[in-house]
Amino acid sequence: MFTFSPLQGALSEATASQSLLELDGGVKVLIDVGWDETLDIEKLKELEKQVPTLSLILLTHATVPHLSAFVHCCKHFPLFARIPVYATQPVIDLGRTLIQDLYSSTPLAATTIPDTSLAEAAFSYSQPQFSNNFLLQAPTTEEIAKYFSLIQPLKYSQPHQPLASPFSPPLNGLTITAYNSGHSLGGTIWHIQHGLESIVYAVDWNLARDNVYAGAAWMGSGHGSGGAEVMEQLRKPTALICSARAGEGGLSRGARDQQLLDTMRRTVARGGTVLIPIDSSARVLELAYLLEHAWRSEASGVTEAGALGTAKLYLAGRSVNSTIRLAKSMFEWMDDSIVQEFEAVADQGGKRTNGNTDGGRGRDAGPFDFKYLRVLDRKAQVEKVLSQSSTPNELRGKVILASDTSLEWGFSKDVMARIADDSRNLVILTEKPSASSKEKPSVARQLWEWWKERRDGTADEASSGPGSAEQIYAGGRELRLMDSKRAALDESELPLYQQWLVTQRQLHATLQGGGATNLEASADVADDVSSESSESEDESENEQQGKALNASTAMGQANRKKVVLQDEDLGIMILLKKKGVYDFPVKGKKGRERMFPLAVRRKRADEFGELIRPEDYLRAEEREENERPEANMLQRGDFNEGFGQKRKWDDVGDRRHGGPNRRGQRGGPMEDSDLSQTQQGVIQDELDTVEDEEEEVISGPAKLVTTSSAVTVNLRIAYVDFSGLHDRRSLAMLIPLIQPRKLILVAGSADETEAVADDCRRNAIEVYTPPVGASVDASVDTNAWVVKLSEPLVKRLRWQTVRGLGIVTVTAHLTATPVAQKSLPPPSSTAPTQAGDEDGANKRQKPNPDGTTNSKDMATTGEGDKVAVMPTLDVIPAALVSASRSAAQPLHVGELRLADLRRTMQSSGHTAEFRGEGTLLIDGSVVVRKTAAGRVEIESVGVPTGGGPATRMGGTFYAVKKTIYDGLAVVAGA
């Protein structure tokens, strides 16, 4: 059994993705925990109802439509954090930076308390009026990191049998495998195998290669695309769940890149500012890589010098520094060209170091070692950049990549408000914005609608290249920008909030079964967090909600607040925390107070083993050099840690106190990237010193205050497709090659979905297009039953083990056994019926003349009551043995790998080499091919007609044939 239900995103232009798969036995798999830019908590109501029944969760992309609700559900939905979650490592790391950017950019991400929940509290409270803008408690940075540490990382093409949630039925051998989907770093196509069901879940994939991301792994093994046929693991699934949403461009990668660069040149040439709204985790790497290398090409003279060489390039986002830093450690997840570029740079760096030459400086920066792209992670830096205007004598444009794509939050909204009134400026949309709300469309969606209307005409400037993007005038239309801020609750609002809070605490304590924490990781989750960080996070006072603080919590609070604990507060931990204490009275104590404390330090490890601490392997002189600066700082500690004091020429300056918002500064000689940034002007130095204004910190309950402002839009609008999604042509070509038995279309508008469905129905494929909330039964059409083997039959079976599987051929007689009865005596038995069986329930069944058994007698008792029966295979009666004899052909079970065959033949003294795809040539005379369907073909030249290996060539043929048979298990017919 397999039923599918889309919770969000089906038959709609909304991009949020949530899908629920229910398999045989009540196993439920949730794929993606997406949201949209509205951040409406009402859209998560159906998901909240399903939480107590979920078995596991799979994540596909590190984007807002695919995982932006994950942290919200972990914090506010009881039991959600106890469900095992699986994703690739880039999705985990980049998803964490995305969520941190989201919550630090807008208070709306914390979401407001639902009206229905607040109304229940208001009903029991005398206040008749209540407002619906009370904010829920937003997760802290530590909580976000903790929730993402619960996700189990997987690699591509790694079959994995996950563990189920504590409240889930058994998974019964469920296997999940991740494959590359393109579109984003670590993006995943999920293959789910459960019994006879083989399900492929592919949403938002891209078959074509990008500059950074490899294409989807439909056509080849690994994470890159290649080959001419769909890989065997993804071919002929019982159900293919695919997105109908396609890209709007249709251009090749080179033409698309050139179109974007030509469009920007026309704007920066006249001193304008180009705004490109982007996300902060997925497609930002593709755009940042492209623009950085375009600036490098013009600076080095590879391409003709143009306006881009004089323009300034910026990347604005609160978490983009973390995103770029993580990207530098994930080259193995990117396209092979990125890996080759990184290796080439490393080789050049090694040669220059060994040769001790300085030639070629500035041309060997790594793929993400930005020389021209300036990262802005503070709002004050963005405002400083926008305040710099080009002079009439020197027109220097700006190109700003800013998050988020919706223009509803993040630095992109701030830039939009500043540049909207200037007709020289341009905003370039890189993907079709989501239409999550028809009443209140996002800013990006409104600009998209204006671009489609073309009401005020198109810029008549000559195109600088083939396929250049059109620039549409906004025409002075008005655009309303919403600004959200946190504000403390009034005294009149606090009682209502406290009443609601008490109700929620009672509900959470009930659902979690006596106060069990909802932050328990699964047994198979990789624990990469040290014991100190785990304690400090698990013992946060925000999670204690009315529960008594234990000794560990008290110590955690004391460490944070620098409070001195008394001996009675430490309890049994005084033996470890206080020196000179060796005795502790345990009389009358219970639980942990009666056992000597043991501090277990967890070891950090990765797939290669335990992590190495470099400081443990320092030489004595190196250790002294590292300790010397600390000693100098201690000597200056009496003078306010050296701040405001002059230091001597030979003193080492401490550059570690740059603050959390300071860009990382490297010691030692200045690198090429530092030189390039300082050569761009004094603005870079000024940007380093700019700090955001300290906002008022609201620690208690807060509410959301929203204000709107009208902006006159005179800038130009362009669209260049950088969404990284498949096109209609790729979908029409690929689905017939995949050959799914059933196709389920999600993630697309109604028109897109119906168009794809009509095309697929012409190929005789059963297509489903369920709306949001509806369920479709897409079970495999093969009928299968669970049968029981009788003891006499089991004794006659001869099992053969092939790669851990037991295989046997069976010729038997089908009977029915009551469930309450262990087994029936074989029909051929002549044993008399026991005298005590007066009701006839255990009587021997007499076969009918046609060899069948009277099923009516088997399903009823002597009184005529129906009983449950189990299909049972038993030994064929002697009277029917001769009539049921069949000539069963032997079966060859196993998988032939040409690489193993080549190795075996070479070890036997034969020559073996690959010639073409899927072809092995042995001794220059025998060819072995393996087709896509698994069929093995052997061709030879000079096989003797008399039989037997009479000649060398004939001997090779029989040797190859024998080797192939030796590698397979021959199951004889029964």
- Using left for φ > 0, alpha for ψ between -120 and 50, and beta otherwise, residue 641 falls in left
Could you tell me what percent of the chain has a pLDDT over 90?
36
Least confident of 29-33, 633-637, 760-764: 633-637
The confidence band for 123, taking pLDDT boundaries of 50, 70 and 90, is low
- Assigned CATH for 253-360+368-485+677-719: 3.40.50.10890
Tokens found for residue 566: 């008394």
Q: What is the pLDDT of residue 497?
A: 86
Average the pLDDT over 27-52 and give the result.
93
Residues 6 or more apart from 452 whose CB is under 8 A from it? none
pLDDT at 226 over 90: no
Q: What is the pLDDT of residue 418?
A: 93
Closest CA to 659 of 683, 702, 688, 619: 688
Quote the CA–CA distance of 400 and 312 in Å, as a whole number.
Answer: 8
How confident is the model over 280-325, as pLDDT tens digits?
Answer: 888 999 999 999 999 998 887 766 656 788 889 999 999 999 999 9
Longest alpha-carbon distance in the chain? 115
pLDDT at 197 over 50: yes
The confidence band for 429, taking pLDDT boundaries of 50, 70 and 90, is very high
- Residue 403 forms beta bridges with which residues? 278
Tokens found for residue 236: 């002929």
DSSP H helices in 316-442: 320-327, 336-355, 379-387, 411-419
How confident is the model over 898-943, as pLDDT tens digits?
Answer: 888 888 899 988 999 888 767 889 988 899 988 766 678 888 886 5
pLDDT at 604 over 50: yes
Amino acid at residue number 909? G
**Of all helices (H) and strands (E), which one includes residue 116?**
helix 115-123
Q: What is the pLDDT of residue 833?
A: 37
Least confident of 180-184, 713-717, 841-845: 841-845
Average the pLDDT over 250-256 and give the result.
86
Could you tell me what percent of the chain has a pLDDT over 70?
72
Tokens found for residue 651: 């003193």
Annotate 33-86 with DSSP letters as a single string: ----TT--GGGGHHHHHHGGG--EEE---SSHHHHTTHHHHHHHSTTGGGS-EE
Domain limits of the chain? 2-247+724-777, 253-360+368-485+677-719, 788-828+845-881, 891-971
How confident is the model over 550-597, as pLDDT tens digits?
Answer: 444 444 444 444 445 566 667 777 887 777 887 888 877 777 777 888
Least confident of 319-323, 587-591, 629-633, 810-814: 629-633
Quote the CA–CA distance of 208 and 181 in Å, as a whole number.
Answer: 10
Quote the CA–CA distance of 807 and 893 in Å, as a whole number.
Answer: 9
Quote the CA–CA distance of 562 and 543 in Å, as a whole number.
Answer: 20
The confidence band for 20, taking pLDDT boundaries of 50, 70 and 90, is very high
Closest CA to 162 of 53, 70, 17, 27: 27
- Give 2-247+724-777's CATH code, choosing from 2.30.29.30, 3.40.50.300, 3.60.15.10, 3.10.129.10: 3.60.15.10
pLDDT at 967 over 50: yes
Do 234 and 240 form a contact (C-beta atoms < 8 A)? no
Closest CA to 821 of 795, 791, 851, 793: 791
How confident is the model over 151-178, as pLDDT tens digits?
Answer: 999 999 989 999 999 999 999 889 999 9
pLDDT at 96 over 70: yes
Do 177 and 157 form a contact (C-beta atoms < 8 A)? yes
How confident is the model over 357-411, as pLDDT tens digits?
Answer: 444 444 467 899 999 999 999 999 999 999 876 555 556 789 999 999 999 999 9
**Of all helices (H) and strands (E), which one includes residue 198?**
strand 197-202
Do 743 and 199 form a contact (C-beta atoms < 8 A)? no
Q: How crowded is the C-beta side of 783, counted as CA atoms within 13 Å?
A: 0
Q: What is the pLDDT of residue 851?
A: 42
Do 571 and 593 form a contact (C-beta atoms < 8 A)? yes
Q: What is the pLDDT of residue 125?
A: 54
Average the pLDDT over 735-750 and give the result.
92
Annotate 588-654 with DSSP letters as a single string: T--GGGGS------PPPEETTEEPP-GGGG--HHHHHHHHHHHHHHHHTGGGGGGTT----TTSPP-
Quote the CA–CA distance of 541 and 379 in Å, as a whole number.
Answer: 31
